[in-house]
Structure 1
Amino acid sequence: MQPELSADLCARLREAFLTAGYTADGVVDLLGPPAHAALGRGEPEAARRASRDAGPLGTLVRLFLLGDTEPLPAVGAALGSVDLDEAVANQLVTPDGRAGLDVRPYEDNWWVIADLDADLRGGAVPADHVLGVGHASVSLARATARREVDTLLDLGTGCGVQALHASTHARRITATDLSPRALALAAGTFRLNELAVELAAGEWFDPVAGRRFDQVVCNPPFVVGPPRVDYVYRDSGLSGDEASELVVRRMPEHLTDGGVGQLLASWLHRKGEDWADRVTSWLPAGGLDAWFVQRDIADPVLYVGTWLRDAGVDPRSPEGRAKAGAWLDWFAEHDVEGIGFGYVTLRRTGDAGREVVCEDLRHAYDDPLGPEAARWLDNVAWLRAHGETLPHHRFTVPSTVVLEEVSGPDDEGWTPLVRRLHRTDGPGWQHEIDEPTARLLAGCRGALPLEDLLALLELAYGELDRDAALPLVRDLVRHGMLVPVR
């Protein structure tokens, strides 16, 4: 039975939260940064102490964020005009004063309604569990380009996190999901935040057959392994990485010309196979830009244990051992050496052309990838339009790009061993370059076109390999380390 989080109920719940100060900012102000950070690490005691004498706000924090049992009169007072019986009937709280759903403030003073995780439940989650705000959903939100669009599709919305973010830049939002429970909780999330979102039920792209959108975002059930569905939020029922393949293959047909699609994806690393060859084989024919960014490669053994614990299954239990054994057997049978994870950005280009790039980005960085994805698309479009006349253009090196040199001792002092160009913002791109390239970039100050700089270097230092220089310039432009004077 799904909760009925009606518009009227959500309006009254919203009023109660605002009255109590149960917002993202209000919770941080109450707990203070150290206790709030500890809560994020799964250490609740400091938050419990900080909320002890905080009235209705303290009650809501302990109820929904800590999973404590609260006195029913205090719960009733904190929920304002939402009657306790009504809250119980809609699964918001249990009859004994515990949270029945995960209702928590998020980011831009939004609220998200989801199911309680394994820790707050005190055991394994059910098959139709609706995941709340997790690492994957936050990662996709940070990796999504935020430019004004008319229409946006959130494919597999879950509890509605991506649609919340989309509300900051999309005029009309459509959200789909296969799970009736996910749709019910997402509807509650949208009503609680006073957002108008079109909801549609069905598998994959079936609910939007024949429709196109300016932007599509998707956090699919990308967990790879045997073709089974233990939990709808992570398992597709497809074998291996076929869920990611399906979304990559079909997403372009639902994009308008110039439309952008972005998703989280996983792919198998199999013995004797290049991961880039694998993922690019998923792409449909036609005009399309595609950027595959690999953020991590997981060992199969670690991968299985992580996902078992995520669902609240003890890997040491009989159930955990049986599931782990079947999973690892499947990996062994299919020569799986690792599981890649990352982001995919697609743009439908029509007749304009096609650019496909696969890159490793496994080092740590702080900046969100979304602005970089938008910049990458812009740079690819510029290169497509001006690639044949590249030597005629002037370029500058941004102030955020530095040249690092590593030298080693020799008989005459020091000799350079490595020259590395490093962009200090965004994802921190790095390129190892040679001495002639370093000299070329030193001259890129926006005054002379590239061909003149190459000619000057040839006069000063002898013949240069122009065939090698131009591809490197293209790579640096794509990565925002060399900027054309437009």
Structure 2
Amino acid sequence: MNDLLGRLRGLLLDTGYTIDGVRERLGDVAATALSREETIPALRATADGDPLATLIRLWWLGAPVEARDVPAGLPVEELAAAGLVTVEGGRVTSAVHLQPWETDGSGGSGGSGGVEGSGGSGGYVVSDRKVRPGDPALRPDHVVGAGGASANLAQLASRRPVGRALDIGTGCGVQVLHLRGRAEEITATDVNPRALELARLSWALSGITGVDARQGSLFDPVEDDRFDLIVSNPPFVISPAGRFTYRESGFHADDFCRDLVRRAPRHLAPGGTCHLLANWLHVDGEDWRDRVGGWLAGTGCDGWVVQRDVQDPAEYVELWLRDAAEQGTPRHRELYDDWLGWFEAEGVTGIGFGWITLHDSGSLDPVVRVEEYGRPVELPVGGYVDEVLGAIATAHRLTDAELLGSRLVVAEGVLEERIGPPGAEDPARIVLRQTSGLRRGAAVGTVEAALAGVCDGDYPLDPLLAAIAELTGEDHDDLRTKAPAALRPLIAEGFFHISTG
């Protein structure tokens, strides 16, 4: 099998079946239409039957191709014997979905079905065929391909090199492609044996060897192991019943994500980090921040939770019914009504989606930050996530006296906006904005704005406050009392950092 997959990989590369090659062959209109699960433009664009067009129709679009159009060197008989294609009546049909995937700094490509990204290295991801409206119902052990959530997790994970890495719920194996070259040892787990079967095909086609693949739920397959980096795109979908293993755990409500968070720390090596995606409930009479923050409380780890999106129950149900191509089917109304009724009984007002990061800093005073942030950010977040965690921890642990004695530096790329009526002597509002990283904005007072103009690491904060007090006529002691509370959030959010020089 490995020899077969090696030859197939060579053919795919030689034919140009890569992200760039597919996008160029399809053109922008057809490639963008695929992101909306509209295949007709792509089918029209690949009707000529050239080798690349044939591969796109066969592996990506799932359309049968004439055997006479199959590129020379494609071992159809061997692929059929391996269960990857079927051959009937002079036509070849794929039994799996095989997509190129990019693993450079862009964090992956493909979305829910489109073709995105350019350049970079990567490999190939093998999954079950894409389900589209009118297709047969999904099998319970369906293995979904790599998409938007896969790319989101890859964007989030820290880029620093590590010894041992763990991918929980590996699915089609896409996160392992991102971990290659970053981790010396990689372990991947999944509760679904079919997922591990297809993941092994993904790794072989991508030239990856030595992955320790284990079957089981949560951390059960690695009960006695510790890792420097843990990543997980888990089955986080919240529903009344676990019908599909790739998206639903069968746990009640959001308990699976809760348990994943609570069990992760015991499998982190000292200094280790865990990144995962999660859904959580917004329940009537409860602050979602308290709910999710409670998952991290008592873990002994620093934590960062970011809600990137929230949907009302109807939007959420519609999303996942579309995901399984169940809209318009005979069971659509029943499934929709039952799901909404279950949410109503649970008091659910919304469902949040976002990132959760845990870091075993070794501190006896761990800090957890829970926030909502939906604005665009610089990608990949993993390129600076360690600095984000460090800033949150520093702001939390510095005493007022230590802060006053620190030499602050305004972060690179921070800009100041002054907003007010034309000709006004003083602005009505001053905003500091980041031009990189999380690209946050923060409304500040005149003292913080003045510090942003002078903090270059040369002088401790206290004498700078004394100078500002002298210039403005304010009381120095009053500024010394108020400044730590005003500056601590700005340090936590990366507008200032402490000079170590």
Which residue matches 2:440? Answer: 429
Question: Which residue of the other structure, out of 25, 28, 31, is the alignment partner of 2:23?
Answer: 28
Alignment CA distance shift 1:181-1:296 (3 Å): same
Check if 1:225 corresponds to 2:239. Answer: yes
Check if 1:293 corresponds to 2:306. Answer: yes
User: Is 1:353–1:384's contact at 8 Å kept on the other side of the alignment?
Assistant: no
Aligned equivalents of 1:111, 1:417: Cα separation in 2: 54
State the secondary structure of the residue aligned to 1:475. helix
**Which piece of structure 1 moves more, 98-107 or 146-155?**
98-107
Question: Which residue of the other structure, out of 238, 241, 266, is the alignment partner of 2:254?
Answer: 241
TM-superposition CA deviations, 1:263-290 (whole Å, max 9, x none): 0011111112111111121125253100
Which residue matches 2:112? Answer: none
**Which piece of structure 1 moves more, 382-391 or 273-282?**
382-391
Alpha-carbon offset, residue 18 of structure 1: 2.5
Check if 1:376 corresponds to 2:380. Answer: no
**Which piece of structure 1 moves more, 259-268 or 446-455?**
446-455
Alignment CA distance shift 1:175-1:370 (3 Å): same
User: Is 2:235–2:249's contact at 8 Å kept on the other side of the alignment?
Assistant: yes
TM-superposition CA deviations, 1:120-142 (whole Å, max 9, x none): 88243221111101111111111
Alpha-carbon offset, residue 413 of structure 1: 4.5
Which residue matches 2:59? Answer: 64
Which residue matches 2:406? Answer: 393
Alpha-carbon offset, residue 45 of structure 1: 4.6
User: Is 2:165–2:228's contact at 8 Å kept on the other side of the alignment?
Assistant: yes
Which residue matches 2:229? Answer: 215
Which residue matches 2:331? Answer: 319
Alignment CA distance shift 1:23-1:205 (3 Å): same
Which residue matches 2:80? Answer: 88
User: Is 1:297–1:341's contact at 8 Å kept on the other side of the alignment?
Assistant: yes
The number of residue pairs the alignment matches comes to: 474
Q: Please, what TM-score do these two structures have when normalized by structure 1?
A: 0.91
Which residue matches 2:277? Answer: 264
Which residue matches 1:3? Answer: none
User: Is 1:398–1:483's contact at 8 Å kept on the other side of the alignment?
Assistant: yes
Alignment CA distance shift 1:416-1:366 (3 Å): same
**Which piece of structure 1 moves more, 262-271 or 66-75?**
66-75
State the secondary structure of the residue aligned to 2:429. strand
User: Is 1:420–1:430's contact at 8 Å kept on the other side of the alignment?
Assistant: yes
Aligned equivalents of 2:357, 2:486: Cα separation in 1: 22
Which residue matches 1:178? Answer: 191
Aligned equivalents of 1:275, 1:297: Cα separation in 2: 11
Check if 1:360 corresponds to 2:372. Answer: yes
Question: Which residue of the other structure, out of 149, 155, 160, is the alignment partner of 2:162?
Answer: 149
**Which piece of structure 1 moves more, 284-293 or 35-44?**
35-44
User: Is 1:23–1:109's contact at 8 Å kept on the other side of the alignment?
Assistant: no
Alignment CA distance shift 1:300-1:458 (3 Å): same
User: Is 1:408–1:415's contact at 8 Å kept on the other side of the alignment?
Assistant: no
Question: Which residue of the other structure, out of 424, 430, 436, is the alignment partner of 1:419?
Answer: 430
Query: What letter corresponds to residue 219 of structure 1 in structure 2?
Result: N
**Which piece of structure 1 moves more, 84-93 or 172-181?**
84-93
Question: Which residue of the other structure, out of 191, 194, 200, is the alignment partner of 2:214?
Answer: 200
TM-superposition CA deviations, 1:241-280 (whole Å, max 9, x none): 1111011100111000110000001111111211111112
* Gaps in structure 1 of 5+ consecutive residues: 1-5
Question: Which residue of the other structure, out of 287, 290, 298, is the alignment partner of 1:277?
Answer: 290
Alpha-carbon offset, residue 435 of structure 1: 1.9
Aligned equivalents of 1:254, 1:433: Cα separation in 2: 41
Query: What letter corresponds to residue 459 of structure 2 in structure 1?
Result: L
Query: What letter corresponds to residue 91 of structure 1 in structure 2?
Result: G
User: Is 1:313–1:320's contact at 8 Å kept on the other side of the alignment?
Assistant: yes
Query: What letter corresponds to residue 401 of structure 1 in structure 2?
Result: V
Aligned equivalents of 1:186, 1:286: Cα separation in 2: 31
Alpha-carbon offset, residue 474 of structure 1: 2.6
Question: Which residue of the other structure, out of 449, 453, 458, is the alignment partner of 1:438?
Answer: 449
Aligned equivalents of 1:15, 1:475: Cα separation in 2: 52
Query: What letter corresponds to residue 337 of structure 2 in structure 1?
Result: G
Alpha-carbon offset, residue 381 of structure 1: 5.0
User: Is 1:145–1:370's contact at 8 Å kept on the other side of the alignment?
Assistant: yes
TM-superposition CA deviations, 1:137-195 (whole Å, max 9, x none): 11111111111001000000000111110113111100000001100000101111121
Check if 1:74 corresponds to 2:66. Answer: no
Aligned equivalents of 1:367, 1:468: Cα separation in 2: 35
Aligned equivalents of 1:451, 1:274: Cα separation in 2: 38
**Which piece of structure 1 moves more, 45-54 or 271-280?**
45-54
Q: Please, what TM-score do these two structures have when normalized by structure 2?
A: 0.89
User: Is 1:407–1:414's contact at 8 Å kept on the other side of the alignment?
Assistant: no
Question: Which residue of the other structure, out of 9, 12, 27, is the alignment partner of 2:7?
Answer: 12
User: Is 1:248–1:282's contact at 8 Å kept on the other side of the alignment?
Assistant: yes
Check if 1:306 corresponds to 2:292. Answer: no
State the secondary structure of the residue aligned to 2:265. helix
Alpha-carbon offset, residue 8 of structure 1: 2.6
Which residue matches 2:359? Answer: 347
TM-superposition CA deviations, 1:359-395 (whole Å, max 9, x none): 1111234533222322212334555775552222222
Aligned equivalents of 1:474, 1:195: Cα separation in 2: 45
Question: Which residue of the other structure, out of 454, 457, 479, is the alignment partner of 2:468?
Answer: 457
Which residue matches 1:110? Answer: 123
Alpha-carbon offset, residue 53 of structure 1: 4.2
Alignment CA distance shift 1:41-1:305 (3 Å): closer
User: Is 1:24–1:109's contact at 8 Å kept on the other side of the alignment?
Assistant: no
Query: What letter corresponds to residue 110 of structure 1 in structure 2?
Result: G
Q: CA RMSD in A?
A: 2.2
Alignment CA distance shift 1:120-1:334 (3 Å): closer
Alpha-carbon offset, residue 35 of structure 1: 4.2
* Gaps in structure 2 of 5+ consecutive residues: 103-120
Q: Percent identity?
A: 39
Query: What letter corresponds to residue 93 of structure 1 in structure 2?
Result: V
Alpha-carbon offset, residue 353 of structure 1: 3.0
Aligned equivalents of 2:498, 2:28: Cα separation in 1: 43
Aligned equivalents of 1:98, 1:472: Cα separation in 2: 63
State the secondary structure of the residue aligned to 1:259. strand
State the secondary structure of the residue aligned to 1:346. strand
Aligned equivalents of 1:52, 1:318: Cα separation in 2: 33
User: Is 1:158–1:182's contact at 8 Å kept on the other side of the alignment?
Assistant: yes
**Which piece of structure 1 moves more, 50-59 or 122-131?**
50-59
**Which piece of structure 1 moves more, 168-177 or 474-483?**
474-483
Alpha-carbon offset, residue 21 of structure 1: 2.4
Alpha-carbon offset, residue 238 of structure 1: 0.8
Alignment CA distance shift 1:339-1:414 (3 Å): farther
